[in-house]
Chain A
């Protein structure tokens, strides 16, 4: 039991808040300050643990430049179904974990003004933090699902009890929406589980998925030797079943070794003979349906148009700190899920539906921006800006831009995933940047709301003169949201937008046009709230300068916004290797997929000429029709 073991270190990071919540439950009534400081201490401790990963913290460290999972550990949980307590960090999850622990502190400081049921609030807040960190770390699909639900319930109560006038409506709307997403996700998880087969993987993949462990030296130093030893071991139940199934030679009796391991599922999904390619329903494969279900589930969380209407209501009713968490962290889970689960596990479906995903992203961007323009409620405006900004994330994740046809040599297609990498990195960057800027924006709204108790944009004005320091911070943070160069919002947006042209010129142009709308709604809001000669609303006397507590929240957010905007490598150094590796894997998969399709086409011969002719024009844009046509023609051949 020491911290140098990842299972202890990471588990402590995840469950420290939950333990804290448990401890708080035994606190006597009336000690509200003590409860608050304890909660703050726990969030800070959790943050310190996550910061420890930057350094060689007792042997557990997150190294830059490493693409694979780091600090991964597994322990059997429900061995009968192959469910494991499996966690790990890579460049995709690590920045989000740090963002979560960072924002948890800031938003808890922002919740100091909450006086109703303080103990219950703190307990739920800590449970929420456990759920959030756990979701980003979980690598077992079942564990992921459980933690996903763990996060959902505290949020329901936090909105429903501490919210504004329509809190019940907003809370139930949030809950039901997210629950629908969870249920769809559960169906997809089960679909994938019951079609998965761990025995398809080779030793390297098993090592990568954390099933087989490699030791630094000794007999288990290479994947092959480690696998050989593992598969012969008697005390490992999984290895035993693996051996049995592998030994079975009769194809009729051959069973599958199901798994919930997300990394293993990724390898299975990208396998040449992936069982997910079997037809499920309406001529579509299992992975096609799984992708759709998962994508809807995650798109609700992002949220993407038209599944976004819970967000403005939830934000408007939620108290300030909960809005900060909601916008800063919870929305990121949608993007994280799409990147971690949808694409790698269901690549063929992702390839097929890439345009739909991009379209959803672009529509969200435009839709959110226009809707934000029409709002008179400050918080609603910021909520819609989140819809618009998260659209960039979906768009960036969706771009399947991959090389091009040679201009001079007919038939030569160069596979080059650079633009694709740029898009996905941009999307990831945008997630972190939006986590900072949107949390900051909600905080800025909250500062005013705490004082004057209204959010009507038309009844502000002149705040700049009344609260100059606060206004300075607010303007920097709003400009970060606007995507001003030098601040964090710009980098993600520009990476995404520049990468899209290669995939679709139309979508690229529309997404570029959003910069105008973004400027319009943010500048208009700034003008109505901060500029002007006098404050026009009620409770003008309450507009006192920033409190030190608020200062403590505003400074880190502003500093982060500037640092990430000026030196994005600070984040990319940690993030990019993993993202690049995943994109490269998908690109390689696409190349194999295209090649097998070409081969299939050639083997089909002359009678399929019309299909062959359809290929060049439709390849990057609409592979859907082509794929089905080839599959339908291929089936008799098999």
Chain B
């Protein structure tokens, strides 16, 4: 078998991508007939996704890793710690020797690599005229190794192409492994969790019809059908080779999420939540469309990569230029040292009108094209805001918890909502520093807002939902502050521990049949596996670890790197930018508080509801097995030994390792990511992260474990704040007043306008015409025409009557008339003759 990456990777990943689709089709048509009540449909779906996982693993370990050496020098997240302490297994001695290269490593590290981008890349070391200190002297990194191609075209218009294709780099392969692994775990878990649906009829206790609980046929196979379609759509986003294809699958995951949230469609709350999720996502997609239009009109392409030949080499024209450059190659050309410079077509598109005949200062101003770049960047980010439930579109995610818990674990925490972060990461080279600032601001607001709401929530799944929103905010913050690796690192680690947490909560719900934490307590004894795997999840999410050592749970590594990046950013920019750091640290504290509040309330103390406690039981093995597996990953996935950051670093988008500086906001600097690994930043950030998490856990323990403080009294004391948080900052009410009601109002007005104004006008016209016709009829036809005719007729009639008088029947009278007539005729004849003669 041909295992060269350029040929093998697209095939392997396409197979992994299409297997769930095949499973969807099979279950769609014959699902119900597969085994008793469609039980085997579950096995079909599991088989498909596990095969997809195995294929992804082959792609990763057999094709990708042997062919693409991980970066030799690490400026990755925690490897310097390894250097300092010399106990990280992966670290070799020579790293000490190369520590000096740290400063300008991205290029050096990758210089010898088999990048398909064989152009002379970095002769412009001095081309960086940027006066900003953070950037000075660093050449930006060239494009990472990737494989790009099209499968087929949706439409081609001249040079404009909309295609379905692939873009495969280290990030794609990593995401494939992550998504398929978690999806496999969730599928297997769901075999147990959804077991009730195998009963026919299934009793839905939350819906009451005619005074009885609703009984309906089980929908076991439907669940797996949707789940398979979801996996297909999600992998489609990951493998997508262009923005249009991302958009296609973006919407498709949206619709799968709609079906899965609305899985219990008999429940009004579920169908409403499904609608809400889809419509709110569409609001984000509206922004995304604008961003896409801006790109499409100015660059004429959506492709992430440049056109490649069968061997994975970039196709060049005869003059040596790239034949069909993608978005990133157009925005960050080698000539510009891979810095973000709007190309001429973008400047032209922004300026629209004809440039003034004399090229004045304004024409050459360096800000040209940046506004359009900002529109494109923020537009694409809008889509991510919707999908990743960022402020102000975060409102749908907590409601999405109406879906079955495996869905929450897979779709609404680990993968789909992470797709927004993934897209920001994928699209990273095209974000100008101002767009990144927007991303950071949104991320910052989201992470703190959601964390505050999570503190008061009592529904176990909603706490986790807000926690998800908050963690996604962290990722966005990291990306916005320039920490590309930090953000995506957290995306991967978070996927593992958050799906673990959700599945643990599902296990709890499965056992006690309630979501309400106020009815739980002390479950640790009843369900130890769930309890301790969940503890692992909690420790992972709060970033537990031994500060300044490479020992810790996965969240420890990723969250620390985010805080380091925030610190680095704040240090570079100063002033108000410290808020980002402050919120990140405070947010970490809140995370620790609400997560341990959740754990303590659920698993420790005395049972609050004895009836439920007595019925509780540990879940079957088909459910706990995945928990244990995920717990292992939640602990270890980020360990330096596994070199995850090295893998991500391989995919570092073109030119982004060097940071950048603002054009529209002149003094904005996005620091290069490796700067955040400076020892003093690491030290301070590590201590800050540790102490904030410690404070959070301590606080939760004080209130909920040791009971020194009564939560009810705290509620009373801070009643206004509590009410605000309990009502989720009144966002739903606000949007109802601001958008939903006005939209319905406008709709009604427009419908009324149609009937009341347009139709009224038409009816008036019709009546006017009728009236006119009637008047016309009366005046003209009846009076004038008919009148004339009738008058003539009357005259004739009268004349006839007159003549009748002459008809007397008397012969003598007639003879008299004849004689008189003859006489008159003769007279007339002679008179006429006389006149003519004379």
Flag if A309 contacts B289 (CB, 8 Å). no
| A172 CB to nearest chain B CB (Å) | 9
A371, A413, A417, A520: which contacts B754 (Cβ < 8 A)?
A371
State how many angstroms separate the Cβ of B147 from the closest Cβ of chain A.
24
Beta-carbon contact of B355 and A512 below 8 Å: no
Q: Which one of A410, A479, A512, A532 contacts B290 once the chains associate, using CB atoms below 8 Å?
A: A512
Asked whether, in the complex, the Cβ of A374 is within 8 Å of the Cβ of B750, the reply is yes
B506 at interface by CB-CB < 8 Å: no
* B351 / chain A contacts, CB cutoff of 8 Å: 405, 407
Do residues B349 and A370 form an inter-chain contact, with CB atoms below 8 A? no
B695 contacts A by Cβ under 8 Å: no
Which of A39-47, A329-337, A418-426, A543-551 forms part of the interface with chain B? Answer: A418-426
The distance from the CB of A525 to the nearest CB of chain B, in whole angstroms, is 10
* Contact present for B266 and A465 (CB under 8 Å): yes
Q: Smallest CB–CB gap between B609 and chain A, Å?
A: 27
The reply to whether B160 and A419 contact each other, CB–CB distance below 8 Å, is yes
A residues near B363, Cβ cutoff 8 Å? 408
At the interface with chain A, which of B47-55, B248-256, B666-674?
A: B248-256
A519 to B289, CA, bound (A): 15
Give the distance in Å from the alpha carbon of A568 to the alpha carbon of B164 in the complex.
12
A485-B251, A533-B209 are contacts. A501–B266 as well, Cβ < 8 Å?
no
Q: Which chain A residues border B293 with CB–CB below 8 Å?
A: 497-498, 500-501, 508, 512
For chain B, residues 760 to 779, give those with C-beta under 8 angstroms from any C-beta of chain A.
762, 766
Residue of A nearest to B288 (CB): A512
Nearest A residue to B372 by beta-carbon distance?
Answer: A505
The interface residues of chain B lying within 8 Å CB-to-CB of A464 are: 265
Please, which residues of chain B bring their CB within 8 A of the CB of A500? 293
Alpha-carbon separation in the docked complex, A498 to B293 (Å): 5
Most buried by A among B155, B216, B282, B300: B155
Contact, CB under 8 Å: A513 / B286 = yes
A485–B348 touching, CB < 8 Å: no
**Stretch of B267-275, B613-621, B638-646 lying at the A interface:** B267-275
Q: List residues 281-306 of chain B with CB under 8 A from any CB of chain A.
A: 282-283, 285-286, 289-290, 292-294, 296-297, 300
Q: Kindly list chain A residues whose C-beta atoms are within 8 Å of the C-beta of B294.
A: 501
Chain B residues with Cβ below 8 Å from A615 are 354
B355–A405 CB distance below 8 A = yes
Q: Which residue of B lies closest to A307 (CB)?
A: B758
Q: Is B747 an interface residue (CB 8 A)?
A: yes
Residues of B within 8 A of A384 (CB): 751
Given A370-B747, A418-B160, A531-B262, are A515 and B286 also a contact pair (CB < 8 Å)? yes
Please measure, in the bound complex, the distance between the C-alpha atom of A479 and the C-alpha atom of B282, giving whole angstroms: 14
B346-362 at interface with A (beta carbon < 8 Å) = 347-349, 351-359
Q: Mark A585-626, 1 if CB is under 8 A from B, else 0.
A: 000000000000000000000000000000111011000000
Among residues of B, the one whose C-beta sits closest to the C-beta of A176 is: B766
Find residues 516-570 in chain A having any chain B CB closer than 8 Å to their own CB: 516-517, 519-520, 523-524, 527, 530-534, 567-569
Which of A490, A516, A517, A616 has the most chain B CB within a 10 Å cutoff? Answer: A516
Chain A, Cβ-Cβ closest to B358: A410
How far in angstroms is the closest Cβ of chain B from A449? Answer: 21
B209 touches A534 (CB 8 A): yes
Beta-carbon contact of B248 and A373 below 8 Å: no
Contact with A along B197-209 (1 / 0, CB 8 A): 0000000000101
Q: Are B297 and A405 interface neighbours, CB within 8 A?
A: no
**Cβ-defined partner of B286 (8 Å) among A367, A371, A516, A523:** A516
Is A462's beta carbon under 8 Å from chain B?
A: yes
Q: Is B606 located at the chain interface by the 8 A CB criterion?
A: no
Interface string of A273-300 (1 = CB under 8 A from B): 0000000000000000000000000000
Contact of B157 among A312, A371, A425, A531 (CB under 8 A): A425
- A465-B216 in contact (CB<8A): yes
Give the complex CA separation of A491 and B155 in angstroms: 9
Q: Determine if A569 and B207 form an interchain contact, defined as CB atoms under 8 angstroms apart.
A: no
**B214 and A533 contacting across the interface, CB-CB below 8 Å:** yes
Interface string of B235-260 (1 = CB under 8 A from A): 00000000010011101100100100
Which residues of the partner chain A approach B210 to less than 8 Å between Cβ atoms?
A: 534
What residue in chain A is nearest B207 (Cβ atoms)? A533
CB distance from A516 to the nearest CB of B (A): 5
Max chain A Cβ within 10 angstroms of own Cβ: one of B157, B247, B278, B353: B157
CB of A580 within 8 A of chain B?
A: yes
CB-based contact A404/B348 at 8 Å: yes
Verify if A230 is at the interface (C-beta below 8 Å from B).
no
B158 at the interface (CB under 8 A from A): yes
Q: How far does the Cβ of B248 sit from chain A's closest Cβ, in whole Å?
A: 4
Task: Return chain B residues, CB-CB under 8 Å to A374.
Answer: 744, 747-748, 750-751
Question: Chain A contacts of B249 at CB under 8 A?
Answer: 485
Q: Are A515 and B153 in contact (CB under 8 A)?
A: no
Pairwise interchain contact B747-A373, C-beta atoms closer than 8 A: yes
Interface residue? B743 (CB, 8 A): yes
Assembly CA distance A500 to B294 (angstroms): 10
Proximity string of chain A (473-509) to chain B, C-beta cutoff 8 Å, 1 when within and 0 when not: 0000001000011100011001101101110000011
Which of B404-432 touch A at CB < 8 Å? none
- B159 lies within 8 A of A418 (CB): yes
Does B751 lie within 8 Å of A371, measured CB to CB?
yes
B297 touches A501 (CB 8 A): yes
A76 at the interface (CB under 8 A from B): no
Cross-chain contact A410 with B153 (CB below 8 angstroms): no
Taken together as a complex, chains A and B put the C-alpha atoms of A524 and B271 apart, in Å, by 9
Q: Is the CB of A502 within 8 A of B297?
A: yes
Asked whether, in the complex, the Cβ of A568 is within 8 Å of the Cβ of B356, the reply is no
Q: Which residues of B contact A233 (CB under 8 A)?
A: none
B759 part of interface (Cβ distance < 8 Å): yes
Best-surrounded residue of B154, B210, B285, B762 (most CB of chain A within 10 A): B154
Contact with B along A413-441 (1 / 0, CB 8 A): 10011110110010000000000000000
Interface residue A199 (Cβ < 8 Å from any Cβ of B): no
The answer to whether B292 touches A498 (Cβ under 8 A) is yes
Contacts of B743 in A (CB 8 A): 370, 373, 517, 520
Instruction: Decide: B285 and A410 in contact? CB cutoff 8 A.
Output: no
Q: Which of B216, B247, B297 has the most CB of A within 10 A?
A: B297
Question: What chain A residues lie within 8 Å of B248 (beta carbons)?
Answer: 485-486, 490
**In the bound complex, CA of A248 to CA of B509 (Å):** 96
Say whether, besides A422-B157, A533-B207, A523 and B279 are in contact (CB < 8 Å): yes
Residues 81-132 (chain B) with a chain A CB within 8 angstroms = none
- A309 and B762 contacting across the interface, CB-CB below 8 Å: yes
Whether B355 pairs with A406 at a CB distance below 8 angstroms is yes
Task: Assess the B279–A309 pair: CB atoms within 8 A.
Answer: no
B255: contacting residue among A176, A484, A502, A513, CB under 8 A: A484
Q: Known contacts being A418-B160, A497-B293, A568-B155, is A373 close to B744, with CB within 8 Å?
A: yes
Q: Contact between B255 and A312 (Cβ–Cβ < 8 Å)? A: no
Question: Any chain A CB within 8 A of the CB of B344?
Answer: yes
Quick one: given A512-B289, A527-B272, are A408 and B355 in contact (CB under 8 Å)? yes
In the complex, A325 Cα to B286 Cα: how many Å? 32
Per-residue 0/1 for B733-751: is the Cβ within 8 Å of any A Cβ (1 yes, 0 no)?
0000000000110111011
Say yes or no: B750 contacts A371, CB within 8 Å.
yes
B152 beta carbon closer than 8 Å to chain A:
yes
Task: Report how far A449 CA is from B274 CA in the complex, Å.
Answer: 26
Which A residues are in CB contact (< 8 Å) with B216?
Answer: 465
Q: Does A411 contact B (CB under 8 A)?
A: yes
Q: Is the CB–CB distance between A531 and B296 below 8 Å?
A: no
Known: A419-B160, A532-B266, A533-B267. 9 other contacts (CB 8 A): A404-B352, A405-B348, A425-B157, A485-B248, A494-B244, A495-B155, A508-B290, A523-B258, A616-B354
Question: 30 A-B pairs, CB-CB below 8 angstroms?
Answer: A367-B750, A370-B750, A371-B750, A371-B754, A373-B747, A374-B751, A404-B349, A406-B355, A407-B347, A407-B348, A408-B344, A422-B160, A425-B155, A465-B216, A484-B251, A484-B255, A485-B247, A508-B290, A512-B286, A512-B290, A515-B289, A519-B279, A520-B282, A520-B743, A523-B258, A527-B274, A532-B265, A533-B266, A533-B267, A620-B352
Give the 5 A-B CB pairs with smallest separation, nearest first: A616-B354, A418-B158, A374-B747, A373-B747, A501-B293
